[in-house]
């Protein structure tokens, strides 16, 4: 599928700062900010699937799984604008401008993001620019990775007697992670760090210095809600060693909290897979 690259040199990116810049007489389309969920296409909402099927153009991110991409209509243009560590197919500004340009061409655009567009997905940034350009925007919520991946790993985000709440934290490399670590460590919440594997050492050190117990259970959930999902568990004090030893990818979720200790008892995905592989009982006439 086509990939958007930076516009440079003699063709610099145009900046659509307001609807006043819109060409006269153009029929404006619309953009739908759609959460694709955490990977399993069966977790797409009906509304998300409808948006994918009815769009003129799909603009999608790296965390949209191949199983979901396989459901893109063959006749629909799909543009990849994903970002990986140290490798961006397009800057956020270029993506914003692309969405405006497509809408100004009268197209219906499905802007497809992994998880939920409004949870560490920059959906609100894109929406602000689209609305400033006079483009109608619709938001289709998706199952965020923290909810989907932990459920598939058998880890409840809350459990009576273990955790009365949960906190989502970005561990993205572009963020300084200038947080109140002492408050996080003492919340007695389940902590979920998005894209924090490359900063696992700092997360471990900051939580320990904030008062968290070294033996606090942790889990690393990799490729969540996909056929090759992997969950690695251990203790907070060993978090960076777990990442290195098991070669955990940077997009994995880090889950910190006592609820992780329930994962073995609440494991269900492997059991369902085993049942599906069993042949149905043959009854004689």
DSSP string spanning 114-179?
SB-TTSSS-HHHHHHHHHHTT--EEEE----HHHHHHHHTT--S-BTTTBS-EEEEE--TTS----
CA distances from 184 to 150, 174, 196, 204, 249 (A): 19, 20, 15, 12, 24
- DSSP 3-state assignment of 253? strand
Tens digit of each residue's pLDDT (9 = 90 or more) over 221-277: 999 899 889 999 999 999 999 999 999 998 899 999 999 999 999 999 877 777 777
- DSSP 3-state assignment of 10? coil
Among the options 83, 107, 113, 199, which is catalytic?
A: 83
pTM of the model as a whole: 0.84
Our measurement of the distance from residue 39's CA atom to the centroid of its chain's CA atoms, rounded to an integer in Å, reads: 9
Domains of the chain: 19-143 (3.40.1010.10), 146-264 (3.30.950.10)
Cα 82 from Cα 108, distance rounded (Å): 20
Query: What pLDDT is attached to residue 172?
Result: 72
Q: Which residues pair with 137 in a beta bridge?
A: 31
Cα 103 from Cα 99, distance rounded (Å): 6
Verify whether residue 40 is a known catalytic residue: no
Provide the residue count of the chain. Answer: 285
Among the options 40, 61, 113, 116, which is catalytic?
A: 61
Q: What is the DSSP letter of 269?
A: H
Verify whether residue 10 is a known catalytic residue: no
CA distances from 220 to 183, 234, 251, 279 (A): 22, 9, 10, 33
Residues of the chain with pLDDT under 70: 1-25, 84-89, 173-176, 279-285
């Amino acid at each position: 599928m086509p990939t958007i690259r930076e516009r440079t040199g003699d063709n610099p990116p145009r900046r659509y700062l307001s609807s006043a810049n819109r060409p006269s007489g153009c029929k404006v389309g619309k953009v739908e900010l759609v959460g694709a969920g955490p990977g399993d296409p069966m977790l797409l909402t009906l509304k998300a699937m409808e948006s994918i099927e009815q769009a003129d153009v799909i603009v999608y991110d790296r965390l949209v799984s191949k199983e979901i991409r396989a459901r893109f209509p063959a006749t629909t243009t799909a543009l990849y604008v994903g970002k990986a560590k140290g490798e961006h197919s397009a800057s956020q500004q270029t993506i914003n401008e692309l969405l405006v340009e497509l809408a100004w061409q009268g197209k219906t655009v499905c802007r497809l993001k992994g998880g939920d567009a409004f949870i560490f997905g920059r959906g609100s940034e894109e929406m602000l620019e689209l609305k400033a350009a006079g483009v109608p925007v619709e938001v289709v919520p998706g199952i965020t990775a923290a909810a989907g991946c932990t459920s598939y790993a058998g880890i409840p985000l809350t459990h009576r007697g273990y955790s009365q709440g949960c906190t989502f934290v970005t561990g993205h490399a572009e963020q300084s992670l200038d947080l109140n670590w002492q408050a996080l460590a003492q919340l007695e919440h389940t902590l979920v760090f998005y894209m924090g594997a490359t900063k696992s050492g700092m997360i471990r050190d900051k939580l320990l210095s904030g008062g968290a117990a070294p033996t606090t259970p942790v889990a690393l959930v990799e490729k969540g809600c996909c056929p090759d999902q992997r969950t690695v568990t251990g203790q907070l004090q060993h978090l960076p060693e777990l990442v290195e030893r098991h070669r955990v990818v940077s997009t994995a979720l880090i889950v910190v909290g006592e609820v992780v200790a329930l994962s073995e008892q609440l494991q269900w995905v492997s059991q369902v897979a085993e049942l599906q592989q069993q042949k149905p009982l043959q009854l004689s006439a």
